[in-house]
Amino acid sequence: MRPSEIKSFQDLEDYLTHFTTWDGDQVYDHGGAFVLLGALLDNIRTYALEVELERIGNYLDDEQKFFLIRLTDLSRHPRED
């Protein structure tokens, strides 16, 4: 799927779940995926209410929660500019 084909929330979720590159090539662009994750985090930080953040577990399955915990240990992965 290409971004221009996204017509619904389900399309967007499917696109993000199966994202490889902007053009949908089979070569995985991990940097691009992390940029998208960063944009989503910025969105949540800006717009989510505190009570919604307390309920984040309602939106993630156990594997997603575990992976998010792994990602939050960024001290092991310093930013390289």
Q: Tens digit of pLDDT for each residue in 69-78?
A: 888 887 676 6
Nearest Cα to Cα of residue 12 among 50, 39, 45: 39
Q: Which two tokens stand for residue 11?
A: 């399309």
- What local confidence, expressed as pLDDT, does residue 27 receive? 87
Q: Give me the residue label for tokens 């290409």.
A: 2
Q: What is the pLDDT of residue 51?
A: 87
Average pLDDT over residues 9-22: 91
How much is the pTM?
0.74
Per-domain residue ranges for the chain? 3-76
Mean pLDDT, the chain, integer: 87
Confirm if 1 and 15 have CB atoms less than 8 A apart: yes
